[in-house]
């Protein structure tokens, strides 16, 4: 029974907007009364190929007519195919399919610990992460992120995770002990505020891991599948991880996560060590294979890079127009952020996200006073320009009269 004090039977965990959408087409969402919005939130980096992409829709429909779910008791051809495609285009040899980013991360954490367990170092269980990280909302991934605001009230923090200040290589070096199993990092922190880890730093972490015989684990749940203009963001630094979690964009709206690993790193994950009832079901695999068709098409990623650069230029112009409001522009490809000046926006990014919404532009707030842009990778330059014009109008609305 819903009490009269509330108007919904849902958990109150989300501070939702009043907006709701009935349908989507490419980079646009429409309300029931046909109001059009430009979707530069992309369902938080999920709608990688836009809404209603014909190739993805037909792949889903075709599979829906055949079989939806059989469980991992049986071979699933779509899984074999998708895993092999990842093996062909990434560092990975082995893939496990899950249903979300947090689950992909759980598999990554288990894989890293189990690697040391079967290789004669069972004491190596601790994982080092950077402050400001976000790895999901399960008990272990919350501990990995280490953010007090998310951990409060949920009982003992899962053990085995230590944080060092963002980008502090010396602190990371000093934190490694003979109990360290892995370093876990987002190549660009998403929720933390589009904080780009310098390529030099990623290369340094790779060296540090090699030196100490520990594993480098990438959380590319948000940065992966073309978001930054490379298939995976670590490619920009010219290094490879041992283990990587992905999700968001690979499902394009279908809940899918995956953990990718080298043969060596995955050596402990033998029969019975991990599992998922839904993970990698035929429907999801049909969708993800279709997403890869689009993202791996010749020239697609180069276009993402070019569109990202163009938007960055326009954001720089915006920063020139509003020097008292905008602190910095950050990000890579189509994972971009506009950092607002704290004194101009003492209440955080909420009012700016709201102002943009009034101009029918959807964005997402992030840490560090950052407004995030995560549009479909398929946006046109016209749509990108329209989005910046709307952002400009939103800034004009909030500019103090003088
Ligand atoms: C969104 C996100 C997660 C969690 O993904 P869910 O699908 O919400 O569980 C983990 N890591 C990063 C970097 C993310 O952006």
- Give me the mean pLDDT over the 215-239 stretch: 98
Q: Evaluate if residue 3 carries a pLDDT over 90.
A: no
CA of 221 to the centre of ligand 1 (A): 6
Residue 321: strand, helix, or coil? helix
Backbone angles phi and psi of 268, in degrees to 5:
-85, -10
Which amino acid residue places its CA nearest to atom 5 of ligand 1? Answer: 101
State the pLDDT at residue 127: 98
| Banded pLDDT at 188 (limits 50, 70, 90) | very high
Does the model's pTM come out above 0.85? yes
For the CA of 186, the nearest atom of ligand 1: 13
Q: Is the dihedral of CA 26, 256, 158, 203 positive or negative?
A: negative
pLDDT tens per residue, range 60-113? 999 999 999 999 999 999 999 999 999 999 999 999 999 999 999 999 999 999
Q: Evaluate if residue 354 carries a pLDDT over 70.
A: yes
- Give me the mean pLDDT over the 108-131 stretch: 98
Which amino acid residue places its CA nearest to atom 6 of ligand 1? Answer: 101
CA of 300 to the centre of ligand 1 (A): 24
- Give me the mean pLDDT over the 9-22 stretch: 95
- Residue 130, beta-bridge partner list: 164
* Mean pLDDT, rounded, of the chain: 96
| Banded pLDDT at 1 (limits 50, 70, 90) | low
- Residue 326, beta-bridge partner list: 340
Cβ atoms of 150 and 139 within 8 Å: the answer is no
State the pLDDT at residue 2: 52
- Give me the mean pLDDT over the 322-344 stretch: 97
Which amino acid residue places its CA nearest to atom 10 of ligand 1? Answer: 135
| Banded pLDDT at 224 (limits 50, 70, 90) | very high
pLDDT tens per residue, range 362-376? 999 999 999 999 999
Short-list 66, 101, 392, 109, CA closest to 257: 101
Which amino acid residue places its CA nearest to atom 15 of ligand 1? Answer: 222
Supply 338's token pair: 């506009």
State the pLDDT at residue 399: 84
State the pLDDT at residue 350: 96
- Site residues for ligand 1, CB cut-off 6 Å: 100-102, 105, 134-136, 186, 190-191, 219, 221-222, 247-248
Q: How far apart are CA 176 and CA 168, in angstroms?
A: 13
pLDDT tens per residue, range 253-265? 999 999 999 999 9
State the pLDDT at residue 6: 60
State the pLDDT at residue 402: 60
CA of 129 to the centre of ligand 1 (A): 15
pLDDT tens per residue, range 288-328? 999 999 999 999 999 999 999 999 999 999 999 999 999 99
For the CA of 100, the nearest atom of ligand 1: 7
Supply 251's token pair: 């499902």
- Give me the mean pLDDT over the 208-221 stretch: 98
Q: Give the relative orientation of helices 381-398 and 350-358 as an angle to the nearest 10 degrees.
A: 120
pLDDT tens per residue, range 30-49? 999 999 999 999 999 999 99
State the pLDDT at residue 309: 97
The answer as to CATH 3.90.1150.10 being correct for domain 23-52+300-398 is yes
Q: How far apart are CA 224 and CA 234, in angstroms?
A: 9
| Banded pLDDT at 7 (limits 50, 70, 90) | confident
- Give me the mean pLDDT over the 235-262 stretch: 98
State the pLDDT at residue 400: 79
Pick the CATH number of 54-295 from 3.40.1180.10, 3.40.640.10, 3.20.20.120, 3.90.550.10: 3.40.640.10
Q: How far apart are CA 136 and CA 142, in angstroms?
A: 6
Q: Evaluate if residue 401 carries a pLDDT over 90.
A: no
- Give me the mean pLDDT over the 109-127 stretch: 98
The domain spans of the chain are 23-52+300-398, 54-295
Whole-number Cα distances in Å, 79 to 94, 220, 401: 11, 20, 58
CA of 50 to the centre of ligand 1 (A): 19
């Amino acid at each position: 029974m819903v009490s009269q004090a509330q108007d919904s039977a849902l958990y109150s965990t989300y501070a939702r907007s009043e907006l709701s959408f009935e349908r989507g087409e490419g980079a646009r969402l429409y309300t029931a009364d046909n109001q059009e919005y430009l979707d530069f939130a992309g369902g938080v980096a999920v709608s990688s190929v836009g809404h209603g992409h014909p190739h993805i829709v037909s792949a889903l429909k075709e599979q829906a007519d055949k079989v939806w779910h059989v469980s991992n008791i049986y071979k699933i051809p779509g899984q074999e195919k998708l895993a092999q495609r990842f093996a062909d285009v990434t560092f990975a040899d082995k893939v496990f399919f899950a249903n979300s980013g947090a689950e992909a991360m759980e598999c990554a954490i288990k894989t890293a610990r189990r690697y040391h367990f079967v290789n004669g170092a069972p004491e190596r269980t601790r994982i080092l992460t950077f402050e400001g990280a976000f790895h999901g909302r399960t008990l272990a991934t919350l501990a990995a992120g280490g953010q007090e605001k998310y951990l409060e009230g949920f009982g003992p923090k899962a053990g085995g995770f230590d944080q060092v200040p963002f980008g502090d290589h010396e602190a990371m070096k000093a934190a490694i002990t003979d109990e360290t199993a892995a370093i876990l990092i987002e190549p660009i922190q998403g929720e933390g505020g589009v904080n780009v880890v310098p390529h030099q730093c990623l290369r340094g972490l790779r060296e540090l891991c090699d030196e100490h015989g520990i594993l480098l684990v990438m959380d590319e749940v948000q940065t992966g599948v073309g978001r930054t203009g490379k298939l995976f963001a670590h490619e920009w630094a010219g290094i490879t991880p041992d283990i990587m979690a992905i999700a968001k964009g690979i499902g394009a709206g279908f809940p899918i996560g995956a953990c990718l690993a080298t043969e060596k790193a995955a050596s402990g994950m033998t029969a019975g060590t991990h599992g998922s009832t839904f993970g990698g079901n035929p429907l999801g695999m049909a969708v993800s294979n279709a997403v890869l068709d689009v993202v791996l098409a010749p020239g697609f990623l180069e276009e993402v890079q070019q569109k990202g650069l163009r938007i960055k230029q326009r954001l720089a112009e915006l920063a020139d127009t509003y020097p008292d409001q905008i602190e910095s522009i950050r990000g890579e490809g189509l994972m971009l952020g506009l950092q607002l000046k704290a004194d101009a926006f003492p209440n955080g990014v909420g009012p700016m996200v709201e102002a943009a919404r009034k101009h029918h532009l959807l964005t997402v707030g992030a840490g560090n006073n950052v407004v995030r842009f995560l549009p479909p990778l398929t946006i046109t330059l016209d749509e990108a320009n329209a989005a910046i014009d709307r952002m400009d109008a939103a800034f004009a609305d909030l500019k103090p009269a003088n």
